[in-house]
Amino acid sequence: MSQRANRVGSEAFTLIEMILAMGVMAIVIVVVHAAFFSALQLRDRTTDAVDQGQPAQQAAAFLRCDLLCATASGGVLEGSFKVGSISEPGLSQPVSVELCTATGALHDSAPWAEIQKVTYALDKPAVPAASGGRDLVRRVTRNLLNSITPDVTAQWLMGGVQSLEFDCFDGAQWVNTWDTTAGNTNLPVAVRVRIEQTGASRPTMELVVPLVAQAATNSV
């Protein structure tokens, strides 16, 4: 009987072994919790970076597409191409660029051609942010034949923009103004867009878009 009791007692855990096991378990739980918390922080930072960069990528995509499909002046549905501080009717702030581009979506309910007038400008932010800056807004006019009361649709692209600059390449140098209704009857060879965002952590965007559409020369 005593031998069986001694055998059972030798198979049980001692108090020191229980304390050591609990200590090891606590260390493992702390390490797992730290790794899990670090993974959550990394996920949140990645999500914030993607959310902040998505409007900028969308704005760059719209700018590139509109500039690539810019139409040369010379027809009823082929309006002017202007770069600079342009006064727009109904707007308190001047627009940075005004062009006609073949990016209009065709719908059965909107009997307009694919040619539309697009302007890009900085406007007051709809929701003021702590970082400051203004909103980059794209305005689209689909019906170019209605010159009396044009229907303009505003599209918000991104916020927190410090400055928006357009430069045109004439084949020899970059200039910051262009107007096909004045002296420059053709489109520029290329357009450079520079968007400076507020905050040190938000990089400055710059893209160069070549323009291939050219109108006829002035020679008879």
Residues 9 and 85 in one domain: no
Residues 27 and 88 in one domain: no
- Considering the domain boundaries, does residue 112 fall inside one? yes
What's the CA dihedral at 74, 175, 157, 128 to 10 degrees?
Answer: -130
From first to last of its 220 residues, what are the pLDDT tens digits of the chain?
A: 555 555 555 567 788 888 888 888 999 888 888 888 788 777 767 666 555 557 788 889 999 999 998 887 665 556 788 888 777 665 656 788 998 888 887 777 777 778 889 999 988 887 776 567 889 999 998 887 766 767 888 899 888 888 899 999 988 999 999 988 876 678 899 999 999 988 766 778 899 999 876 655 544 4
Read off the DSSP letter of residue 13.
Answer: P
Residues 89 and 182 in one domain: yes
**What predicted TM-score, i.e. pTM, was given to this entire model?**
0.69
What's the CA dihedral at 77, 164, 55, 66 to 10 degrees?
Answer: 20
Give the residue numbers spanning the domain of 83.
Answer: 54-210
Run of H or E including 100: strand 95-101
Measure the CA–CA gap between 173 and 42, rounded to whole angstroms: 45
Decide: 160 and 129 in contact? Cβ < 8 Å: yes
Split into its structural domains, the chain has a count of 2
